Amino acid sequence: MKKKVKWGLIGASRIAAEWIIPAIREATDSEVVAVQGSDKDRVEKYARAHGIPLAFSSVDDLLASDVDAVYISNTNEKHAPCAIRALQAGKHVLDEKPMAMSVKDAQAMVGLASDKGLVLGVNHHLRSMNSHRKLRELVADGVLGDLVAVRIMFGVLLPQANRGWRTESADAGAGVFFDLSVHDADLLHFVLGEKITQIAAFTSNNGISAQGIEDTVAAIARTESGLLVQITESFAMQHAKTSLELHGTKASAFAEDVLLQRAGGTISLSIDGSRVPIAIEHSNAYPRVIGAFNDSIRGEGRPVVTGEDGLASLKLAIAAREAARTGQVVAVDTMR
């Protein structure tokens, strides 16, 4: 019988409660044994509500316990410092996106995990959805032919419950780039099987975010092979559905309502204007994330999204932000 992976949560968050805790418990080889939050009363209440044995108000106290791995889901500016402390303490790390707010910090995390022989993963859960795995398969198998254009639209009306620091605090990593752009970057890299190398971008503020913080981004990017990609992301689209379109010389694929936390949405294949639906057996993405991470701790495979993958998506998001700031086309690899 496999020894159970003991998980500690750094951040008493909603995403942990709704998605990660159930996924850890669904796996027969892992359990949640501790949670940390800065507010002692709140984290103790959270622990009781979710049946977690240990509650800490100090990250160092949690790391001094016998947890094997930590999931980090506090505010964005805390991700890298907490991950680095966890890796230094010998703990495996599954970091929420963005993995860091700077390329330098993300590189430090990747290097530290490698030096210590620890697993570092990033929770870009979209790779684990069956809809996106099907899109990757269509590209890789040549069903679409040679791709000539790609368009992704991650437009939502950000719920009031998810605003706060996400729309108000630049210091905490507010705005679309660190919330949506990193997800789209990782998904595009995964589905297309190649990296984006250049990007140009514009931003706007539609009143969802505080002044000076973008709530909408429009970008055009180029991949290694020269493929052009249109990217639109927004916190201010109340009536939109998320979508990803892949246009090739043999066919086009249209995926709709597919970029959220819940599984679902549709995919259709279009040939000469006629659309045919593609059957997808949808399933919760998060058990796949946790299962692969647990296996990788035992040396069996790798996380769904590695630290290197997370670094690549972070570089693209930061390059898009720099492109919007300067009005210039930015090479992703110049981000340091």
250 and 142 co-located in one domain: yes
Percentage of the chain modeled with pLDDT above 90: 98
27 and 161 co-located in one domain: no
192 and 233 co-located in one domain: yes
Count of structural domains within the chain? 2
8 Å CB contact between 212 and 186: no
Flag whether pLDDT at 210 surpasses 80.
Answer: yes
CA distance 311 to 289: 18
17 and 163 co-located in one domain: no
pLDDT at site 3: 85
**Which band of pLDDT confidence, cut at 50, 70 and 90, is reported for residue 2?**
confident
pLDDT at site 289: 98
Task: Read off the pLDDT of each residue in 52-60 and give the average, rounded to a whole number.
Answer: 98
149 and 174 co-located in one domain: yes
**Which band of pLDDT confidence, cut at 50, 70 and 90, is reported for residue 306?**
very high
Percentage of the chain modeled with pLDDT above 70: 100
Flag whether pLDDT at 110 surpasses 80.
Answer: yes
pLDDT at site 196: 98
199 and 281 co-located in one domain: yes
179 and 281 co-located in one domain: yes
pLDDT in tens, 93-106: 999 999 999 999 99
Of 88, 104, 123, at which residue does a domain stop?
Answer: 123
Flag whether pLDDT at 181 surpasses 70.
Answer: yes
105 and 144 co-located in one domain: no
Task: Read off the pLDDT of each residue in 296-313 and give the average, rounded to a whole number.
Answer: 97
8 Å CB contact between 331 and 322: no
pLDDT in tens, 269-293: 999 989 999 999 999 999 999 999 9
119 and 130 co-located in one domain: no
Q: How many residues does this entry show for the chain? A: 336
Q: For residue 41, what is the domain's CATH number?
A: 3.40.50.720
Q: How far, CA to CA in Å, does 319 sit from each of 96, 201, 313?
A: 20, 9, 10
Flag whether pLDDT at 266 surpasses 90.
Answer: yes
pLDDT at site 1: 56
Q: What is the mean pLDDT of the chain?
A: 97
Flag whether pLDDT at 228 surpasses 70.
Answer: yes
pLDDT at site 183: 97
74 and 173 co-located in one domain: no
20 and 156 co-located in one domain: no
pLDDT at site 49: 98
pLDDT in tens, 231-256: 999 999 999 999 999 999 999 999 99
> DSSP secondary structure string, 239-269?
T---EEEEEESS-EEEEES-SSSS---EEEE
Please give the residue range of the domain that contains residue 99: 5-123
209 and 187 co-located in one domain: yes
Among candidate residues 314, 310, 312, 290, the one with its CA nearest the CA of residue 301: 290
pLDDT at site 201: 98
pLDDT at site 232: 98
